[in-house]
A = this chain, B = another copy of it.
Amino acid sequence: MQFMLRIEVSLPPDMAEDAKAALRAREHARGTELIEQRTLLRIWRIVGRIANFSVWQAPTLEALHDALTTLPMFPYMKIDVTPLIDHPMTAVAERAHGRTETHT
């Protein structure tokens, strides 16, 4: 089960630079874990913004929400969740380029 997320991050303008750096490091570490757990599949930065599009995979809606709330930057995020299914051309794209998630 996959979802497209659009996430905007708004850090408080008066947050100290080293607090920001520490927060980013923790975010990166937690994101890496979620990638290794096959929860976060793809992520792209939006040009000119502190924002991203990302594809998430979860067996349940609860698992998706729980994963998001473990992100250290969650309190600073505005998240839009769009449920995704295969498009008739998805299978064609997978045969050509591989599937977004890796099947084991």
Contact = CB atoms under 8 A, between A and B. Distances in A.
A52 to B, nearest CB: 5
Given A47-B61, A62-B86, A92-B35, A100 B97 contact: yes
A3 B40 CA distance: 19
Contacts of A48: 5, 64-65, 68, 79-81
Given A48-B5, A79-B48, A93-B40, A85 B65 contact: yes
Given A48-B79, A61-B84, A65-B85, 20 more contacts: A1-B60, A1-B61, A12-B13, A31-B92, A35-B97, A36-B96, A40-B89, A41-B93, A42-B90, A44-B86, A45-B86, A47-B64, A47-B68, A48-B81, A53-B82, A54-B87, A62-B85, A96-B102, A97-B101, A98-B98
Nearest to A100: B42
A23 interface: no
Interface residues of A, number: 54
Interface string A15-41: 000000000000010011001101011
